[in-house]
């Protein structure tokens, strides 16, 4: 052993063993999906980076302290891995700070800890035992580590470099990982378990700090703002027409309004939805209001009638807040509430946020059979998703509120060509070319879902709301978009108009449907549907208003501060006529500028201060 000590400094040996052990746990115990060699490399590098950084600190200490530092570090690190491993086996998720303090979760674990333990877990102790043995009394050779100054700096520099290489690779593999977080699995996969925990601690402390300084008085200001600025008018004719019905929401992934009633090579892109227009209230000037949280932001808007945050995903940063959500309100009316989405349950922190929103149940990926044939792009194909969902839907107590989230029409819009029912578009943008095909695929799947609903008898007794969650084609594809739309260029005005997503409110049996031309946004869905269900609005904090009401808020705020009014569109400091797209002198936009920022800030205040905990519904 002496000879090894001479050649391998203790901290290097400890780092290598610990890093390797972590990698083995990632690879063989956590069920992390590895899709390409780059991810594999990141997975290997990140435990090494963390290990070298932490164990490398030992180089700055005197030999005796260093030995005990390395012993303690490998022991504590192992405990962290082991705790996550047990948690993962039970919850298929990683530990978060809030969850740690949620006694019910840990309590759940308590009884089953012994069952979660496997005898092979003993291997986690191997490096710890070795380190202890190597550093036992009088055994630590002074040759293990050099104390020369340049060496210390070198060690620090190398560890930091490794960490930076890891972070850069993670950012390339998952752009914006640090602001948006996405999924705990992504975080662990890309920056490693330990950095993930640090990240989690930072986010939770930031959230906590903001919350601590808020007190009950601020909610009064918010209430006053809402009372003064958000009309709660109702369309009396439509009030309660869907009373007691089941409520089915379908969030259509990346579906923008520009494909509706549009053809390609003589073929309708969305034939089913086009037909549905005449049997529904279809809103053609309806905008998504999402930011970095994408789908999750749209969920947040729709369930709370609050704006998502300007940065990051509110699902991640404020998943522990108090909300007065749509499912909570419906739950109080005796509705069974659930979400159906065949993706990892911790994506966008949904499992945590859905609890905060008071959903009774989340039918996540675990409830679905995924095979090679029924997997497209991000996961279960929309057709298989609906086919497999219906049996669960049929067993729900009635009335129910269930929200479905589709997935196939997601960037990069890859579709096996035998599944395609329409040609690809032909432009310089592969993204737009393929988008036409996946949008059609979702449309076809919706037709099948409606048929399934009819067969099961649920159709007649439900109200069905379909909306696009956010844009699918970014500005990066403007050239191809202008070709598609037959325009010379995409102006800032056109860009805002491309943020329109379809909204259908479909009430089976209802006859006086029409195409609605008034402006609206995702923030309006909650009060609108509540009114159709005959529920009182105006009793909670809501920044939207009934889409059918005569008197409505005269503007729709997008999350980046751009806005749409009845007459104008304001974006990039320019004001355009809403109907013609002609830029004007800005007078028509002026009165709304401040109002829009005040509104967004007021909504943010509610979230940062967790103010709804001070609010009592009337």
- Catalytic center residues: 295
Cα radius of gyration (the chain): 27
Q: What are phi and psi of 447, to 5 degrees?
A: -60, -45
In the list 295, 497, 542, 602, the residue contacting Mn ion (rule: CB under 5 A) is: 295
Size of the site for ligand GP9 (CB under 6 A): 9
Binding part of the chain for Mn ion, among 276-284, 295-303, 307-315, 378-386 by CB under 5 A, reads 295-303
SS (H, E, C) 176-222: CHHHHCCEHHHHHHHHHHHHHHHHHHHHHHHHHHHHHCCCCHHHHHH
Quickly tell me which residue has 């978060």 as its tokens: 96
Binding part of the chain for Mn ion, among 9-17, 65-73, 253-261, 425-433 by CB under 5 A, reads 253-261
| Strands of 206-351, DSSP E | 246-252, 263-264, 267-268, 281-287, 336-340
Q: Which is nearer to ligand GP9, 465 or 541 (CB)?
A: 465
Binding part of the chain for ligand GP9, among 16-24, 405-413, 555-563, 578-586 by CB under 6 A, reads 405-413
What residues from 448 to 507 belong to the interface with Mn ion (CB under 5 A)?
469
387 by Cβ neighbours in 10 Å (0-12 / 13-18 / 19+) ranks as middle
Quickly tell me which residue has 């990140």 as its tokens: 46
Provide the minimum distance between the beta carbon of 173 and Mn ion in the complex, in angstroms, as a whole number. Answer: 19
For position 253 contacting Mn ion by CB under 5 A, the verdict is yes
What residues from 259 to 278 belong to the interface with ligand GP9 (CB under 6 A)?
none
Q: What are phi and psi of 154, to 5 degrees?
A: -60, -45
Report the partner that residue 343 touches, choosing among Mn ion, ligand GP9, none (CB closer than 5 to 8 A by kind): ligand GP9
Report the partner that residue 437 touches, choosing among Mn ion, ligand GP9, none (CB closer than 5 to 8 A by kind): none
Q: Which is nearer to ligand GP9, 253 or 444 (CB)?
A: 253
Q: Which is nearer to Mn ion, 99 or 503 (CB)?
A: 503
**Binding pattern for the stretch 199-238 against ligand GP9, x by CB under 6 A and - elsewhere:** ----------------------------------------
In the list 74, 195, 343, 528, the residue contacting ligand GP9 (rule: CB under 6 A) is: 343
- Structure tokens of 186? 């992504």
Provide the minimum distance between the beta carbon of 470 and Mn ion in the complex, in angstroms, as a whole number. Answer: 6
Q: What are phi and psi of 568, to 5 degrees?
A: -135, 165
For position 405 contacting ligand GP9 by CB under 6 A, the verdict is yes
Identify the three-state secondary structure at position 274.
helix
Report the partner that residue 524 touches, choosing among ligand GP9, Mn ion, none (CB closer than 5 to 8 A by kind): none
Provide the minimum distance between the beta carbon of 24 and ligand GP9 in the complex, in angstroms, as a whole number. Answer: 29
Going from the C-alpha of 241 to that of each of 135, 305, 544, 546, the distances in angstroms are 76, 21, 20, 14
For position 295 contacting ligand GP9 by CB under 6 A, the verdict is yes
Q: Which is nearer to Mn ion, 250 or 396 (CB)?
A: 250
Q: Which is nearer to Mn ion, 89 or 341 (CB)?
A: 341
Q: Which is nearer to Mn ion, 253 or 444 (CB)?
A: 253
CA–CA distance, 337 with 399 (Å, rounded to integer)? 9
Q: Which is nearer to Mn ion, 105 or 289 (CB)?
A: 289
Q: Which is nearer to ligand GP9, 52 or 340 (CB)?
A: 340
Size of the site for Mn ion (CB under 5 A): 4
CA–CA distance, 196 with 97 (Å, rounded to integer)? 11
CB atoms within 10 A of CB 539: 14
291 DSSP 8-state letter: -
For position 347 contacting ligand GP9 by CB under 6 A, the verdict is yes
Provide the minimum distance between the beta carbon of 37 and Mn ion in the complex, in angstroms, as a whole number. Answer: 27
CA–CA distance, 269 with 267 (Å, rounded to integer)? 6
Which residue number is nearest to Mn ion in terms of Cβ?
295
What residues from 408 to 437 belong to the interface with ligand GP9 (CB under 6 A)?
410
Provide the minimum distance between the beta carbon of 215 and Mn ion in the complex, in angstroms, as a whole number. Answer: 36
Q: What are phi and psi of 287, to 5 degrees?
A: -110, 145
Binding part of the chain for ligand GP9, among 147-155, 225-233, 403-411, 574-582 by CB under 6 A, reads 403-411
Provide the minimum distance between the beta carbon of 180 and Mn ion in the complex, in angstroms, as a whole number. Answer: 12
319 DSSP 8-state letter: T
Report the partner that residue 559 touches, choosing among ligand GP9, Mn ion, none (CB closer than 5 to 8 A by kind): none
Q: Which is nearer to Mn ion, 52 or 340 (CB)?
A: 340
Cβ 524 vs Cβ 545: under 8 Å: yes
Going from the C-alpha of 308 to that of each of 230, 464, 557, the distances in angstroms are 18, 24, 12
- Structure tokens of 72? 């303690």
DSSP codes joined into one string, 1-20: -HHHHHHS-HHHHHHHHHHH
- Structure tokens of 159? 């560890």
What residues from 63 to 82 belong to the interface with ligand GP9 (CB under 6 A)?
none
Provide the minimum distance between the beta carbon of 59 and Mn ion in the complex, in angstroms, as a whole number. Answer: 47
Angle, helix 10-28 to helix 126-134, in steps of 10 degrees = 170
- Structure tokens of 226? 């809402």
CA–CA distance, 387 with 138 (Å, rounded to integer)? 68
Binding part of the chain for Mn ion, among 17-25, 144-152, 247-255, 394-402 by CB under 5 A, reads 247-255
Report the partner that residue 478 touches, choosing among ligand GP9, Mn ion, none (CB closer than 5 to 8 A by kind): none
Provide the minimum distance between the beta carbon of 299 and ligand GP9 in the complex, in angstroms, as a whole number. Answer: 8
Provide the minimum distance between the beta carbon of 255 and ligand GP9 in the complex, in angstroms, as a whole number. Answer: 11
Q: Which is nearer to ligand GP9, 295 or 433 (CB)?
A: 295
Conformation bin of residue 478: beta by default, left when phi > 0, alpha when psi is -120 to 50? alpha
In the list 294, 477, 506, 553, the residue contacting ligand GP9 (rule: CB under 6 A) is: 294
Across the beta sheet with 555-557, the strand order is: 555-557, 563-565, 568-571, 574-577
Give the residue among 274, 270, 265 at the shortest CA–CA distance from 423: 265
Provide the minimum distance between the beta carbon of 254 and ligand GP9 in the complex, in angstroms, as a whole number. Answer: 6
- Structure tokens of 141? 């050779």
CA–CA distance, 609 with 219 (Å, rounded to integer)? 9
Provide the minimum distance between the beta carbon of 302 and Mn ion in the complex, in angstroms, as a whole number. Answer: 12
Which residue number is nearest to ligand GP9 in terms of Cβ?
294
Q: Which is nearer to ligand GP9, 185 or 494 (CB)?
A: 185
- Structure tokens of 421? 């029912």
- Which residues of this chain interact with ligand GP9, rule CB under 6 A? 253, 294-295, 341, 343, 347, 405, 407, 410
- Which residues of this chain interact with Mn ion, rule CB under 5 A? 253, 294-295, 469
């Amino acid at each position: 052993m002496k000879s090894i000590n001479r050649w391998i400094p203790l901290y290097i040996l400890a780092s290598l063993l610990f890093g390797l052990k972590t990698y083995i746990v990632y690879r063989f115990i956590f069920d992390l999906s590895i899709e390409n060699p780059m991810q594999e490399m990141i997975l290997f590098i990140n435990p090494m980076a963390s290990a070298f950084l932490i164990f490398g600190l030992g180089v700055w200490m005197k030999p005796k302290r260093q030995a005990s530092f390395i012993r303690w570090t490998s022991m504590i690190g192992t405990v962290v891995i082991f705790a996550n491993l047990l948690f993962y086996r039970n919850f298929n998720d990683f530990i978060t700070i809030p969850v740690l303090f949620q006694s019910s979760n840990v309590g759940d674990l308590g009884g089953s800890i012994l069952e979660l333990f496997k005898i092979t877990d003993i291997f986690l102790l191997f490096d710890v035992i070795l380190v202890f043995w190597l550093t036992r009394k009088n055994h630590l050779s002074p040759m293990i580590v050099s104390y020369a100054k340049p060496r210390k700096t070198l060690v620090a520099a190398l560890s930091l470099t490794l960490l930076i290489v890891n972070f850069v690779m993670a950012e390339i593999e998952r752009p914006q990982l640090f602001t948006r977080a996405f999924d705990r699995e992504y975080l662990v996969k890309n920056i490693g378990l330990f950095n993930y925990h640090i990240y989690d601690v930072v986010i939770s402390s930031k959230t906590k700090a903001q919350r601590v300084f808020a007190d009950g008085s601020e909610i009064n200001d918010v209430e006053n703002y809402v009372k003064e600025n958000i009309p709660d008018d109702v369309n009396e004719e439509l009030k309660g027409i869907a009373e007691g019905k089941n409520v089915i929401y379908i969030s259509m992934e990346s579906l923008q309004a520009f494909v509706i009633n549009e053809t390609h090579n003589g073929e309708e892109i969305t034939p089913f939805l086009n037909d549905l227009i005449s049997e529904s209230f279809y809103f053609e000037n309806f905008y998504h209001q999402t930011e970095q949280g994408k789908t999750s932001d749209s969920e947040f808007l729709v369930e709370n009638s609050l704006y998502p945050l300007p940065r990051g995903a509110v699902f991640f940063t404020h998943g522990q807040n108090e909300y007065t959500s749509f499912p909570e309100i419906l739950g109080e009316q005796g509705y069974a509430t659930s979400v159906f989405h065949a993706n990892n349950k911790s994506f966008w922190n949904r499992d945590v946020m859905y609890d905060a929103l008071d959903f009774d149940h989340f039918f996540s990926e675990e409830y679905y059979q995924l095979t090679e044939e029924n997997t497209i792009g991000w996961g279960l194909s929309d057709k298989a998703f609906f086919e497999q969902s219906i049996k669960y839907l049929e067993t729900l107590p009635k009335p129910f509120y269930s929200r479905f989230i589709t997935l196939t029409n997601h960037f990069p819009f890859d579709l096996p060509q035998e599944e395609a029912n329409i040609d690809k578009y032909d432009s310089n943008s592969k993204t737009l070319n393929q988008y036409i095909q996946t949008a059609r695929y979702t449309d076809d799947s919706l037709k099948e879902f409606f048929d399934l609903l009819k067969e099961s008898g649920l159709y007649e007794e439900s109200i069905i709301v379909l909306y696009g969650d956010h844009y699918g084609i970014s500005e990066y594809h403007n050239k191809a978009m202008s070709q598609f739309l037959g325009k010379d260029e995409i102006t800032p005005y056109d860009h805002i108009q491309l943020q329109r997503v379809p909204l259908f409110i479909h009430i089976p049996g209802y006859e006086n449907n029409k195409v609605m031309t008034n402006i609206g946004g995702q923030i309006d869905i909650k009060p609108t549907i509540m009114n159709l269900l005959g529920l009182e609005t105006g009793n909670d904090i809501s920044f939207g208003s009934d889409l059918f009401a005569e008197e409505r808020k005269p503007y729709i705020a997008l999350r980046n501060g751009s806005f749409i009014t009845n007459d104008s569109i304001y974006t990039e400091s320019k004001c355009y006529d809403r109907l013609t797209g002609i830029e004007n002198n800005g007078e028509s936009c002026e009165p709304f500028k401040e109002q829009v920022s005040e509104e967004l800030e007021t909504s943010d205040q509610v979230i940062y201060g967790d103010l709804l905990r001070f609010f009592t519904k009337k």
